[in-house]
Amino acid sequence: MLRSGGLDADALASLGVDLEQVRWQADAVFGPGALDRAGRTRAGQPRFDRRAKKALELALREAFRLKDRSIESRHLCLGLLRADGSGQALLEKSGVDPATLRPRSRPRAPRHRPPDVSCHPPDCRSEDVGAQLSSGREDVCVVGRAAERMSG
């Protein structure tokens, strides 16, 4: 996930995470070459401790919550941010506030914005509405008669 020049490294950089600083902090916390050793086993299967399993579970929950069909690096990031553990501590030691990463790691969906309508509610009596319309006020909305207003 933290390969230099990779998509994940670029994504972290766009969030303000300095990859070299993270590597330095990981070496300080877990020993030299910690990121290079991460996940290697003799049988070729990754080892996961309790915290890593929890982060993966939370990543899966994030994918379900977002209605995604696969777990991607952003789900892992969100899972790590939800799990209390060394991932958050590493970010904090690197000068990154984990609380600011959560909203920035979500995909940006196009926001539906209601049409801009400048509409003032009419007075309660219909004769007042008629008088307002006769006086040239075009911003009076009459419920159920929008089509007439549009064509007239």
**pLDDT at 139 exceeding the cut of 60:** no
Pair of tokens at residue 45: 């299967």
For residue 140, list its beta bridge partners: 120
pLDDT, the chain, mean: 68
Q: Could you read off the pLDDT of 29-40 as tens digits, one per residue? A: 777 877 776 655
Residue at token pair 């003799």: 42
| pTM over the 0.75 mark | no
Q: Does domain 7-104 have CATH number 3.40.50.1000?
A: no
The more confident residue out of 52 and 7 is 52
Model pLDDT, residue 124 = 46
Per DSSP, the residues of the chain read ---TTSHHHHHHHHTT--HHHHHHHHHHHH-TTHHHHTT--TTSPPP--HHHHHHHHHHHHHHHHTT-SS--HHHHHHHHHHS-SHHHHHHHHTT--HHHHHHHTS--PPPP-------BPPPSSHHHHHHHHHTT---B--TT-HHHHHH-
Domain extent listing, the chain: 7-104, 117-152
Q: Could you read off the pLDDT of 65-96 as tens digits, one per residue? A: 888 888 888 888 888 777 776 677 777 777 77
